[in-house]
Amino acid sequence: MKSSKVLAVVAALSALAASPVAAQIGFSPHVGTLGLGADISVGLLPVLGIRAGGNLQPWKPILEFDDVEYTIDLASPTWFGVLDLYIAGPLRLSGGAVGFTNDTKIDARVTQSVDIGNTTYTPEEIGTIGGVFEANRVAPYAGIGFGKTPRSSGVGFSMDLGVAFHGEPTVRLTASGPLASSPEFQSNLTREEANVQDDAKSFRVYPVVALGFVVAF
């Protein structure tokens, strides 16, 4: 009885391995929240594939933290590697990792008096405020998307929606103005760091949205 079950499993795996896979390799340029990039995919099984690629980030969004507007220099370049499970035609579930090669940087050019910590300072006193958001460089990734299955060849649409869990960032701030070396200003800047970090708690995950096309061979 047991031997017959083993033989049945071996026969099933042999049939699966022998199944023709018309397209085992694909190339996909894309654009999204991680920037401009591309990936290469390899079909492992008719419903299972692996993808790896990278991105360069041209976007610099402006966000407000503790009533100060910062230009966000997002981490770039980034890399990723995912395993795709096709559950219904081109619909796939993806899991893997996203890697950030550096930290996100922030920069504010103050144009009016603002509160830093518990004290109001003029633009001339503050100069510019720079900072770094330090988070995990390697983030687990989970997502869902559409793409050509490992069995299909030709050109098709590709989309990914997911999140990279890089953890709560730690904020470090600096200033360039004439008061930058003042102990009182540094104390207030430390309070400002805590305020910005409190605002940044919602950035525990990095949203990943990517749209592109895939050419499969």
How many whole angstroms separate alpha carbon 142 and alpha carbon 79?
A: 15
Contact 54, 80 (CB under 8 A): yes
Task: Flag whether pLDDT at 13 surpasses 70.
Answer: no
Spell out the residues 6+ positions from residue 134 whose beta carbon is closer than 8 angstroms to its own: 103, 169, 170, 171, 172
Task: Flag whether pLDDT at 2 surpasses 80.
Answer: no
pLDDT band at 4 (very low <50, low <70, confident <90, very high): low
Q: What are phi and psi of 29, to 5 degrees?
A: -80, 145
pLDDT band at 30 (very low <50, low <70, confident <90, very high): very high
Task: Flag whether pLDDT at 203 surpasses 70.
Answer: yes
Q: Is the dihedral of CA 72, 76, 82, 84 positive or negative?
A: positive
Task: Flag whether pLDDT at 20 surpasses 70.
Answer: no
The share of the chain scoring above pLDDT 90, in percent, equals 70
What pLDDT score was predicted for residue 176? Answer: 92
102-133 residue pLDDT tens: 999 999 988 889 999 889 999 999 999 999 99
What pLDDT score was predicted for residue 110? Answer: 87
Average pLDDT value over all residues in the chain: 88
144-201 residue pLDDT tens: 999 988 777 889 999 999 999 999 999 999 999 999 989 999 999 999 999 999 888 8
Task: Flag whether pLDDT at 8 surpasses 90.
Answer: no
How many whole angstroms separate alpha carbon 87 and alpha carbon 93?
A: 7
Average pLDDT over residues 84-96: 95
CATH number among 2.40.128.20, 2.40.160.170, 3.10.129.10, 3.30.2020.30, domain 20-216? 2.40.160.170
The answer to which of 11-15, 82-86, 178-182, 192-196 has the lowest mean pLDDT is: 11-15
Contact 135, 104 (CB under 8 A): yes
Termini Cα distance of the chain: 43
Strand, helix or coil at 152? coil
Contact 84, 157 (CB under 8 A): no
